[in-house]
Amino acid sequence: MPVVATPEVGIPLPFDTTPEEIDDFRQKAHALFETVKDLIEQGAEIEVTPEDKAQSHQIATSGKFPPAKHLTPGTILNLEAILTEWDQEVLDVSRRLRNYVTNKLIVESVDPDPRQRMKALENLGKIAGVGLFSERIDINITHRTVKDIEIDLMKTLEMYGGVTDITPKEETPKSIAEIDVDAELGADEPVTDEPRPAD
């Protein structure tokens, strides 16, 4: 027997959350729904009770999940239906608003005033699908070889410092026992473990 969940529309998600939090909430709800969907595919019959509807509405409006042991499969099914309806409604509102603005710009593009016509046409050209007047920055990257960079560096060093040889001097590695810590650190006094006397 198929499960039919009828969502109640007009239940907004909280507006004091960030888009990342809403996306995370939506992903968690969908993951829970996928688990319940697997149960249904294995033959489990799930009924959405009025208590499930009330709890799913409360979760949708608060944006917070109660502990998993308090969630019933019916609550998860109804929550998924609510969120799917909300997703569709948001997409539909965005699409309708875009069509409205585009249609108004088309009407304005035949205005007798040339300034109005040009502004309307410019805005029509900026629509994402058209992209005629989108501002674009071209970045050119010139790849150079290490040899070319070394030659330029040599010329610069010769010009400013009179340095003609920039090849690194190879030092033979020393063992830790051969290193003079005082000389390396530039210390005037030898380093000891004894505490210094108070001044």
Tens of pLDDT along 160-173?
A: 876 666 665 666 66
Three-state DSSP class for 115?
Answer: helix
Please provide the average confidence, as pLDDT, over all residues in the chain.
Answer: 76
67 close to 19: Cβ distance less than 8 angstroms: no
- Does 3 have pLDDT greater than 70? no
Q: What is the spatial distance between Cα 39 and Cα 93, in angstroms, rounded to a whole number? A: 34
Nearest CA-CA partner of 73 in 53, 48, 50? 48
Q: Where are the beta strands (DSSP E) in 20-133?
A: none
d(CA 8, CA 61): 12
Check residue 150 and give its pLDDT. Answer: 86
93 vs 154, higher pLDDT: 154
User: 194 falls in which pLDDT band (50, 70, 90)?
Assistant: low
pLDDT for the residue numbered 198: 63
What are the pLDDT digits (tens) for 90-144? 667 777 788 888 888 888 888 888 898 888 888 888 876 666 666 666 777 888 8
- Domain boundaries, given as residue ranges, for the chain: 19-111
In this structure, the chain runs to a length of 199
49-79 per-position pLDDT tens digit? 888 888 888 888 777 778 777 788 888 888 8
Assess whether pLDDT exceeds 80 at residue 184. no
> What span, in angstroms and rounded, lies between the C-alpha atoms of 25 and 31?
10
